[in-house]
Amino acid sequence: MKNIGGQNRVYPLYENDLERINYEAEHCAPAFIARTEAAFHRDIRDIAEQIASSPELCKVIMLAGPSSSGKTTTAHILLDALRECGIDSQVISLDNFYKGESDAPLLENGRHDYESVEALNVPLLERCLLNLMETNTCEMPVFDFEHHIPHPYTKRIRLGEREIVVVEGIHALNPAISRHLPEDGVLKIYISVKQGLETQGKILLSPNGVRLVRRLVRDYLFRNNPPGRTLDMWSTVMDGERKYIKPYRGEADITINSMHCYEPCVMRAQALPLLESVEPSASYGGLANQLAECLRRFTPISQALVPETSLLREFIGGGIYGE
């Protein structure tokens, strides 16, 4: 599977200029959104066609990327594209293998390190993936994100004869997870926001900032996290990415750019009230103000115009693939 595209495949770049984005948002928002969504979905469809045309069909796709890259929705879009190519598939989220809030390893400052691969039940995860590759079935745990503990029940995953499982999560490329899997049966994909937002050739919001805005909204709406907690944890998230995710980007056979150029126009409606609620005196008050100032510069677009199949629905809700 390593020859499916590998390092020779160049991910697409999208419009990221403030002035151009605002012009499109003000004059033709529906068409702007449609073009953006079509370009991203076309990229995923191209990947599915490459997979389907490979002489030997892989059994497992490992889809990794940093926080709020859009892994979950992209996994489901890939499933739909594979189905159009005649290949059935299912998604497994590594988030379901979290041990629980109190069982994550500790950092030097005494906080729990939720970004570490050791926060996952790696032996159980390995067993599940090997079972799927060898017997086409496994019992997968289910994590309760509202209470931050595993549910007491499991979910049975069963694959058909020519069915693929897409495993998505921040650690999907970590050798601690995949080292015992048959290499010829695994395809590795890395996804992230690969562009920031610019104005007059200067960075207005970095790729990490784009992801932070996504996470801020998602965590508040779906994970019972106030904005202060998300902002306070962000430096730890960044440290975790540098240690546990970025070192393995080079392992990927394919890279996906999840930038959606109209997203600041949509995300501002949810994100601004959260950012404005942050006390300026808080340690992360400056970061909150910086993000708010950036988002105010974008022309608003109603989230009602965002398609149900959009990756952005993972963060604002209302999508057909869940949060």
Cβ–Cβ < 8 Å for 226, 100: no
Reply yes or no on domain 2-15+38-196+206-260 having CATH 3.40.50.300: yes
- Side chain identity, residue 104: A
8-17, 22-31, 55-64, 260-269: least confident range: 8-17
Q: Amino acid identity of 47?
A: I
For range 298-310, the mean pLDDT: 98
Q: What is the mean pLDDT of residues 281-306?
A: 97
pLDDT at 204 over 80: yes
Q: What percentage of the chain reaches a pLDDT higher than 90?
A: 77
Which tens digit of pLDDT belongs to each residue from 28-37?
Answer: 999 999 999 9
Query: Tokens 């999508």 belong to which residue?
Result: 319
- Sign of the CA dihedral running 80, 85, 86, 91: negative
Calpha distance 315→297 (Å, rounded)? 21
The band of 9, judged by pLDDT with boundaries at 50, 70 and 90, is low
Distance between CA atoms of residues 97 and 284, nearest Å: 30
Question: Three-state SS for 189?
Answer: strand
Residue 96: pLDDT above 70? yes
Q: What HEC string does 99-164 produce?
A: CCHHHCCECCCCCECCCCHHHECHHHHHHHHHHHHHHCEEEEEEEECCCCEEEEEEEEEECCCCEE
E strand or H helix that includes residue 18: helix 18-52
Per-residue pLDDT at 6: 46
Whether pLDDT at 185 is above 90: no
- The pLDDT value recorded for residue 18 is 98
pLDDT at 286 over 90: yes
Q: Is the pLDDT of residue 2 over 70?
A: no
- Environment class of residue 285 by beta-carbon count within 10 Å: exposed (0-12), middle (13-18) or buried (19+)? middle
Tokens of 135: 């017997």
- DSSP track, 242-298: HHHTGGGGGG-SEEEE---TTHHHHHHHHHHHHHHTS-TTSTTHHHHHHHHHHHTTS
Sheet (strand 254-257) strand order: 88-93, 163-168, 60-64, 186-192, 254-257
Q: Are 43 and 256 a contacting pair, CB within 8 Å? A: yes
Give the percent of the chain with pLDDT over 70: 96
pLDDT of residue 162 exceeding 50? yes
Provide the pLDDT for residue 184: 83
**pLDDT, position 41:** 98
Q: Judge residue 282's burial from the number of C-beta atoms within 10 Å of its C-beta, 0-12 exposed, 13-18 middle, 19 or more buried.
A: middle
- For the ranges 44-58, 170-184, 254-268, the maximum mean pLDDT occurs at 254-268
Per residue in 243-254, pLDDT (tens digit) is 989 999 998 999
Q: Where are the domains of the chain?
A: 2-15+38-196+206-260
Instruction: Average the pLDDT over 64-79 and give the result.
Output: 95
Would you call 46 helix, strand, or coil by DSSP? Answer: helix
